[in-house]
Structure 1
Amino acid sequence: MTLLDRVLRRIPFIGRLVHEFSVVNVLDCATRLAAQAFLGALPALFVIAAFAPQGVRDQLVSSLHSVLGLHDDALDQVRQVYSADDTAETNSIGIVGVIVTLLSATACSRALQRTCERAWQMPRAGARLVAWRWVVWLAVWLVDLLLQGPLHDGFGVGTALGVPLQLVSGTFLWWWTQRFLLGSRIPWLPLLPGAMLVSAGVLGVVAWSAIYMPGAVERSLRQFGPFGSLFVLLSWLIVLFTVITIGICVGYVIAHEEPVARRLGTPPPPTPPTPPTPPAVAGSAA
Structure 2
Amino acid sequence: MRRVRAGNRWTLIRAVGIWERSLAFAALGFLTLVPLLIVVSAANPASGRGFAQWLGDGLGVSAAAQGDIEHLFARPDRAWHATTAFGLAVLAVFGVSFATVVQSGYERIWSLPPDHWWARWRHVVWLAALTGLLLLSANSPVWRDSPARGAVTTVAGTLFFWWSQRMLLGGRVAWGDLLPGAVATMVGLTGLRWFSRLVFSPLIASGTVAYGAFGTVLVIQSWLVGVGVVVFGGALAGPLLHDDLARVARALRRHA
TM superposition score category, shorter chain reference: 0.7 to 0.9
Amino acid of the structure 2 residue aligned with 1:49: S
The alignment status of 1:39 with 2:28, answered yes or no, reads no
Identity of aligned residues (%): 26
CA change 1:196–1:85 in 2 (3 A) is closer
| Residue 15 of structure 1, CA deviation | 2.4
Correspondence for 1:17 among 1, 6, 9: 9
Amino acid in structure 2 at the alignment position of 1:238: V
* 1:191 equivalent in structure 2: 178
Instruction: Report the 3-state secondary structure (helix = DSSP H, G, I; strand = E; otherwise coil) of the residue aligned with 2:214.
Output: helix
TM-score for both structures, normalised by structure 2: 0.86
Which has the larger displacement, 238-247 or 115-124?
238-247
- For the residues of structure 2 that align with 1:151 and 1:46, how far apart are their CA atoms? 16
Identify which range, 27-36 or 112-121, moves more after superposition.
27-36
Question: TM-score, normalised to structure 1's length?
Answer: 0.78
Structure with higher helix content: 2
The match for 2:235 among 245, 248, 251 is 248
Q: Deviations over 1:18-76 (max 9, x none)?
A: 111011111111111111112222222223234x2122234333322211123445433
Contact kept? 1:49, 1:56, Cα under 8 Å: yes
Kindly provide the amino acid, as one letter, of the partner of residue 59 in structure 2: L
Task: Work out the CA distance in 1 between the residues paired with 2:86 and 2:106.
Answer: 31
Larger RCO of the pair (alpha carbons < 8 Å, separation 6+): 2
Tell me if structure 1 keeps the 8 A contact 2:208–2:215: yes
Q: Tell me the residue number matched to 1:96.
A: 86
Q: Is the 8 A contact 2:68 2:208 kept in 1?
A: no
Query: Given residue 159 of structure 2, which amino acid in structure 1 is its aligned partner?
Result: F
Aligned positions of 1:1-286 closer than 5 A: 9-50=1-42, 52-72=43-63, 74-80=65-71, 84=75, 86=77, 88-129=78-119, 131-149=120-138, 156-158=145-147, 161-258=148-245
Question: What stretches of structure 2 of length at least 5 have no aligned partner?
Answer: 250-256
Cα 1:182/1:35, change in 2 over 3 Å: same
Count of residue correspondences:
249
Q: Specify the SS of the correspondent of 1:257.
A: helix
Which entry has the higher C-alpha Rg, 1 or 2? 1
Aligned-residue Cα RMSD (Å) equals: 2.5
